[in-house]
């Protein structure tokens, strides 16, 4: 579990390989990925949703794998896959027992769409560095939001590791019952961590904003992939 959580947290970490592309092209790519994912949910029937979602997933995962390596992206998805499998198992059981109405195709389409949305939103943090986010938010005069975002995203890997540790402890303490009680110690520990960050920031400030770049030579590749992906989503939407 700890390993899966650690790998899951990689989904929110930026890769240095991205610096060959401008901030604008990466922001556009992520935004178009999110917009397409939202559109995919409205792509007619279940087959349409499944097809659109699969197309976006292939493009999204392909681009992320190019930057971060196939293995690390697939490993990071272990936990997501686990939760989706559990959800699917529950839905299938409900379907077989006649408790739930959705057809098997709806379950598959819903699952793929949820995964697509997750990948699309996480791409904002995988393709843009925290410093770039701080710059963007500061330019929008959202200084407090920029600071909060840094605190939240930086705490994510450690908080996920704490979560795994808390589950082990509470499961044994209460004999597998009352697992919801992990919430209070996790909140308290996050407050302790936030206090330490606050001390560091009060003394030494946050990292300097990054320069935001508008164009770089290789941007054309990202724009091309984005165009192909949006076109295919729209095409599927029209056909189905």
Partner 1 sequence: MSANNEVLIVKNLYFRYPGGDYVLKGVELEVSRGEHVLVIGDTGSGKTTLIRAITGLGTLLYRGEMAGEVYIAGVRLDQVTPEKLQRLVHVVGQNPYLFFTDYTARDELYSYALRVYRDPNHAKRAVERAVETMNIWHLLDRYFYELSGGEARRVAVARALVADPVLLLFDEPLMWMDDHGVEDFKHILSLLRKLGKTVVVFEHRFLPILRLFDRVYLLERGVLVEVTNLVRDAIRHAHLERWSELKATHLRGSRVLVSLRGVSHSYDKPVLRGVDLDVFSDELIIIYGRNGSGKTTLLKIIAGYLKPTKGRVARACRVMYVPQNIPLFFTEETVMKEVESICKTWGRGVDCIKAGAKALQELKIPREASPFNLSHGQMVKLATTLSRLAGADLVLLDEPFSGLTYVDRLRLLEHLKSSGVAAVIATSSSDAVGSGIWSRAYELDEGVLKPLRADRVGSIELAARIYEEIKRGAGA
Among 44, 94, 102, 157, binds partner 1 (CB under 8 A): 157
143 SS3 class: helix
Q: Does 240 bind partner 1 (CB under 8 A)?
A: no
Distance CA 56, CA 233 (A): 8
| 174 DSSP 8-state letter | T
Token pair recorded at residue 60:
């999204």
The 177-206 contact track toward partner 1, x by CB under 8 A, reads xx--xx-xxx-xx--xx--xxxxxxxxxxx
Q: How far is the CB of 34 from partner 1 (least distance, A)?
A: 22
Token pair recorded at residue 108:
């598959």
The 119-148 contact track toward partner 1, x by CB under 8 A, reads ----------xxx-----------------
In terms of Cβ atoms closer than 10 Å to its own Cβ (0-12, 13-18, 19+), residue 68 is buried
- Tell me which residue of 158, 160, 157, 179 sits closest to 168, measured CA to CA: 179
> Chain-centre distance of CA 100, in angstroms?
29
Distance CA 20, CA 73 (A): 20
Q: Does 14 bind partner 1 (CB under 8 A)?
A: yes
Q: Which stretch of DSSP H or E encloses residue 234?
A: helix 219-239
With CB under 8 A, what is the number of residues at the site for partner 1? 48
The 87-126 contact track toward partner 1, x by CB under 8 A, reads ----------------------------------------
Half-sphere exposure of 207 (CA within 13 A, CB side): 13
Q: Which is nearer to partner 1, 173 or 218 (CB)?
A: 173
Among 154, 212, 230, 240, binds partner 1 (CB under 8 A): 154
Q: Which is nearer to partner 1, 69 or 104 (CB)?
A: 69
Distance CA 174, CA 22 (A): 51
Distance CA 188, CA 206 (A): 23
Among 166, 222, 225, 236, binds partner 1 (CB under 8 A): 166
- Which one of the spans 82-90, 106-114, 165-173, 230-238 is the region binding partner 1 (CB under 8 A)? 165-173
Residues near partner 1 (CB under 8 A) are 3, 6, 9, 13-14, 16, 129-131, 150, 154, 157-158, 162, 165-166, 168-175, 177-178, 181-182, 184-186, 188-189, 192-193, 196-208
């Amino acid at each position: 579990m700890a390993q899966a959580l650690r790998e899951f947290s990689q989904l929110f970490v930026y890769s240095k390989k991205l610096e060959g592309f401008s901030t604008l092209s990466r922001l556009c790519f992520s935004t178009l990925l999110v917009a397409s994912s939202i559109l995919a949910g409205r792509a007619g029937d279940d087959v349409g949703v499944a097809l659109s979602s699969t197309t976006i997933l292939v493009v999204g995962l392909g681009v992320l794998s190019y930057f971060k390596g196939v293995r690390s992206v697939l490993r990071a998805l272990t936990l997501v896959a686990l939760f989706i499998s559990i959800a699917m198992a529950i839905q299938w059981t409900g379907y077989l027992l006649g408790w739930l109405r959705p057809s098997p195709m709806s379950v598959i389409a819903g699952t793929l769409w949820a995964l697509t949305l997750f990948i699309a939103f996480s791409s904002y943090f995988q393709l843009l560095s925290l410093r770039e986010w701080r710059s963007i938010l500061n330019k929008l005069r959202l200084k407090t939001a920029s600071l909060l975002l840094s605190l939240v995203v930086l705490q994510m890997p450690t908080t996920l590791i704490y979560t795994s540790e808390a589950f082990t402890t509470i499961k044994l303490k209460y004999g597998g019952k009352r697992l919801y009680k992990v919430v209070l110690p996790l909140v308290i520990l996050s407050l302790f961590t936030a206090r330490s960050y606050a001390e560091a920031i009060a003394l030494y400030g946050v990292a300097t904003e990054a320069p935001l770049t508008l164009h770089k030579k290789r941007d054309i590749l990202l724009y091309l992939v984005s165009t192909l992906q949006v076109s295919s989503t729209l095409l599927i939407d029209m056909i189905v």
